[in-house]
Amino acid sequence: MKETILLADIGNTHFHIYEGKEVEHLSYADAIERYRNKPLKYISVNSHIEKQIGCVKGWENVSSQMRLPGEYETMGVDRKALCLSHDNGVFVDAGSAITVDVMERGIYKGGWIFPGIKAMLQSYRDISPALDVSLERDLDLTRLPFTTKEQISYGIIASIKILIQKHQKSRQVFLTGGDGKLLSHFLADAVYDEILLFKGMQHALNSNEE
C-alpha cells in the first residue's frame, strides 16, 4: 500500500477502521467520537449512514470509486473492494453472511452468497432444541461424523469448502471477515488477510489519482 490513509468500511452495525496497523471494530457512536477530527475515506453498505455522518467534516464517501470490471448493478461495495485487492483469486468474506467472489485477470467472473456460520447454527436451533450446538472447530472432514455437533458442523463446513473448491481451479483463495481465519484451516493453502478489503480500497484510490 503506497501510503497510510485512515480508511473505513461501514457495515450495518459497526465501523471497521484501518490506519496502517490493524483493524478496529467500533460502534457508530465510538467511531464518530474518536475520529471526527481526522480526515477519513470510507465505503458503506448502509444507505442510511449519511444521516449520521454526512456532516462530519473531512470524511469522504469513496464508494463510487470502487469500480470493478464485470460487476453487477446491486453488487455490494465491500465485495468490490475485496475483489480490487488482487487481479486473480477467490475472495471469501466470512461475516454475518459469507460472500464468495471470483476474479480472473482483473475481471469479475461471478460469485455466490451463503448465510453466515452464526446464522446457519441459529437455523438449526430454530428447528429443534436438540440441534442447539456450537461449531466443532477441530472437525475432521476426512471421516463421517458421529455426534450431532460434529454432523451439523460437517454440513456447514463441508458445503462451504466443496463449492469453493469447485470454482477455485488454480486460483488463490483469500479469506477475511470474522470467521475467515476459521474457514482458512479447512482450505489448503488459503490466505487469511484481515486487511484485504482495505488493500482493495487503497488500490482503487491510488488508481484514481494517477
The answer to whether 180 touches 191, Cβ cutoff 8 Å, is no
DSSP character at residue 184: H
Phi-psi category of residue 134: left, alpha or beta, with phi > 0 → left and psi -120 to 50 → alpha: beta
Residues 6+ apart with CB under 8 A from 114: 97, 98, 99, 100, 120, 159, 160
Dmax over CA atoms of the chain, in Å, equals 58
Q: Pull the grid cell for residue 62.
A: 469513496
115 closest CA partner among 159, 79, 148:
159
Helix axis angle for 148-168 and 117-127, nearest 10°, is: 140
Q: Which residues are catalytic?
A: 78
- HEC string of 67-130 equals CCCCCCCCCCHHHHHHHCCCCCEEEEEECCEEEEEEEECCEEEEEEEEECHHHHHHHHHHHCHH
